[in-house]
Amino acid sequence: MAKVAFLLADGFEDSEMTNPYEALKEAGHEAVIVGFEQGLECKGKKGAVYTTDLAVEDVKATDFDGVVIPGGGAPEALRVNEDLIAFVKEINQQSKLIAGICHGPQVMISADVLQGKDATCYIGIRDDVKLAGANFKDEEVVVSANLITSRTPKDEPAFIREILAKLG
């Protein structure tokens, strides 16, 4: 079974964390919440609370099979952390899964992993995704090499389906 890092900070979109997280665990995968500090409480926009399992400075890409980046306000905070961006870059260099929904691709932009790939996202960051070199597609889910992207909570079933398919 796969070991997947969920990158989390305050302000995440609750369902975009909860639904993929629970689906991966139900499928037998190991879901590890990674944030700025170990044991940090992260609060969602609608009240969900998760505690980080590991600090990003303590994780290695070789220990994981991929990352999931829930949307909401969290990606804006996550993208300025150098350790987190280095981790995502290493995951990409190893051609492992990077899945981002809604604002999640903001982290992908900062890690410079979108160049030449197809991607979708929340409409408000569409231009940023294009400027990062991606071919923007307004579709519920876009799979491009090791990247999986989706737009909004209504796209979660397709997002989850493709993550599970990629992890096998």
CB-based contact 120:148 (threshold 8 Å): no
103, containing H or E segment? none
Label residue 71 exposed, middle or buried (CB < 10 Å: 0-12, 13-18, 19+): buried
- Among candidate residues 29, 42, 103, 121, the one labeled active-site is 103
Assess whether 103 carries a catalytic annotation.
Answer: yes
Assess whether 42 carries a catalytic annotation.
Answer: no
> CB 91: neighbour CB atoms within 10 A?
23
114, containing H or E segment? none
| Cα distance between residue 168 and residue 164, in whole Å | 6
- Phi and psi of 86, rounded to 5°? -60, -40
- Among candidate residues 29, 42, 102, 121, the one labeled active-site is 102
Q: Angle at Cα 49 formed by Cα 46 and Cα 53, nearest 5°?
A: 145
| Catalytic (active-site) positions | 102-103
